[in-house]
Amino acid sequence: MMYHIKNKHPDSVPNDGVSVATHAEVTELISRMIEKDLLPISVVTGDGFRELLAYTVHNYKVPSAGDITRLIEGHFHEKVEELVGQLGRVEKAALTADVWTALPFHVYITVSCSFITEEWQGRSAVLQTHKLPPDSHHTADKVTERLLEIVQNWGLTGKVTACVHNNTADALSAHACARVTWDYATCFATTLQLAVNDGLSEDLVHVIVAAEKLVEHFIHNLVAGEALAQKQVQMCLPQHKLIRSHKARWDTICDMFERLLEQRWAIKAVLSDRMITNRQEARALEIGDDCWQIIENFTPVLATLKWATTVISAESEVSISNIYPITFSLTQTHLVPKENDVDQVSEFKLKVQKSLRTYMEVDSNDLASKPALIASILDPRHKHLGFLTPAGRLAAKVKLHELVSKQDVITSTVSTKDEQQETPVTPDISRVPLPSQMRSDTKNTMMLLLGDNYSSSYATDSEAQVDYYLRDIAPSLDINPLDWWRVNGPRFPKLATLARHYLCIPGVSLPSLLSEAGQTFATMRTRLSPDQIDMMIFVNRNL
């Protein structure tokens, strides 16, 4: 009877309390799937996809590609409207510009923005993705044109503090910089990549190539892979697969070396077993003891650099203010050669140290004006700038006073009633009639001459507010500076405004791309149609 009912009268079959999705709900889920996984919209026209839905959803009519496109466009416009409202309430924001390439040789720029809300919550969103012309001779001007256009389209004119770019050589032409009102900040991940590349000598490259060849053997040779898994069990080693490095990401070299060191003796056992690896093959694959020593000595250095990238790339934390403290820590401590370092590693440390100092301009007379250093002094964890020389700290303090003074000029231009009350104006005593009782009152006379805020608390005087902030005890390194400012902002209102302006700047361009999920996204976005790439990336990254 139940068989007959299910086949002849499916609508009357009870669903045991489980709700059945409606046609509209299924269509909505399909559009969300395409957005989240960055699938081509044409996936809905595939025969396999239609067969799957026909089998799993009763009487469901698969929508056309046009229907799904219109649905995604609806999501796109909803998110645009929501983001426009958020940005309208923002006083300052930072941009990130990620230039990337999709096959066949299409160059795109994805522009994102970051800002801090009134509740001291960090927020970021993708704004637009544009295709750049193939003419490389005008890259800087074309990038600048796109940035100015995007800033205007989103109502951010005059609100941008800085732009973090992953290709500053193209962005920082003299002509391009003259056209914008914001500062440019270097993507720290890109800088570190360049510094590491500078440090790789021929000997280190030879070791890396030999390691890659060994890993490829165990990945592609099924017999060797199975034998390695058996040796791991016999030797009570973690049953991990070897990791392949990627040329575009130096940090994967560290991952590859760490896994090779973990599985070193299992690997040697497989290469020594003539039932699995013949003598000629083993001779070509084996890594000498001197190379293993380099790997063992080199890996902790790479791990330290990788940790630095991880900290700067964290999306949930303020990252821009960590750049210079970490840079100085690397150059002054971690990249200083040690007695037990092999020659190749000592040379690597010195080269990377030199490159970092050059790229980050740590010896520049203009260091105090860099957005990353301003952010450091506005981060209560780093405000004492212990990594700088006394002269460097003084220059940074002078710069902070200068920024607060500019902030005073801006607020006085607005001429709000509260600001007029907070900033006293000393009257011209030549035009003020002095009553007889005031002439005999020294206190009142001094107040008239010097102003009644002369000896007031720090919170009412801009310069003293800066001094009081800098003398205040620094919190521990594990606190979120935005949480600190949420609590202490009322004590230092002028500095709190500046903190909101500078701490919103990310340390890298599109930080999530450095994560595993971000790498998956970077791969998926290259398959999108140029006609829909802006809309699809926007809805995907602003979910």
Q: Please compute Rg for the chain using Cα positions.
A: 30
Residue 136, pLDDT > 90, answer no
Predicted TM-score of the model (pTM):
0.81
Helices (H), 122-178: 139-153, 168-171, 174-178
Which helix H or strand E contains 186, and what residues bound it? strand 183-186
Average pLDDT over residues 144-161: 92
Residue 64, pLDDT > 80, answer yes
Sheet harboring 122-132: ordered strands across? 122-132, 106-116, 93-102, 160-165, 183-186
User: What tens digit of pLDDT does each residue of 395-443 get?
Assistant: 999 999 999 988 877 666 654 444 444 444 333 333 334 444 444 454 4
Domains of the chain by residue range: 23-74, 88-184+516-537, 197-360, 364-410+457-508
Provide the residue count of the chain: 543
Residue 266, pLDDT > 90, answer yes
User: What tens digit of pLDDT does each residue of 82-111 get?
Assistant: 999 999 999 999 999 888 887 667 888 889
Six-digit token string for 189:
């991940």
Residues near 534 by Cβ (< 8 Å), separated by ≥ 6? 128, 129, 130
User: Is omega for the bond preceding 104 within 30 degrees of 0, making it cis?
Assistant: yes
pLDDT of residue 6: 53
User: What tens digit of pLDDT does each residue of 21-39 get?
Assistant: 688 888 999 999 999 888 8
Asked whether the CA dihedral 187, 191, 192, 193 is positive or negative, the reply is positive
Count CA atoms within 13 Å of residue 329 on its CB side: 12
DSSP characters over 388-405:
S-HHHHHHHHHHHHHHHH
Residue 512, pLDDT > 60, answer no
- 433 vs 327, 424, 504, CA distance in Å? 61, 19, 51
- What b/e string do you get for 437-448 counting C-beta neighbours within 10 Å, with b at 16 or more? eeeeeeeeeebb
Instruction: Identify the residue with better confidence: 262 or 181.
Output: 262
pLDDT of residue 299: 96
- Look-up: residue for tokens 């009877």? 1
- What b/e string do you get for 344-353 counting C-beta neighbours within 10 Å, with b at 16 or more? bbbbbbebbb
Q: Which of 238, 282, 274 is nearest to 258 (CA)?
A: 238
pLDDT of residue 422: 44
Count CA atoms within 13 Å of residue 175 on its CB side: 8
Residue 20, pLDDT > 80, answer no
pLDDT of residue 336: 96
In single-letter form, the type of residue at position 194 comes to L
- In the CATH scheme, what is the code of domain 88-184+516-537? 3.30.420
Separation between Cα atoms, residue 74 and residue 507, nearest integer Å: 33
Separation between Cα atoms, residue 64 and residue 44, nearest integer Å: 7
Report the percentage of the chain scoring pLDDT > 70. 79
Average pLDDT over residues 310-330: 86
Asked whether the CA dihedral 100, 109, 541, 23 is positive or negative, the reply is negative
Residues near 541 by Cβ (< 8 Å), separated by ≥ 6? 112, 125, 126, 521
pLDDT of residue 429: 33
Strand partners, 128: 111
User: What tens digit of pLDDT does each residue of 502-511 get?
Assistant: 999 998 886 5
pLDDT of residue 357: 95
C-beta contacts of 71-75 below 8 A and 24+ residues apart = 71/27, 71/28, 71/31, 72/31, 72/34, 72/35, 72/41, 72/535, 72/536, 72/539, 73/535, 75/31, 75/35, 75/539
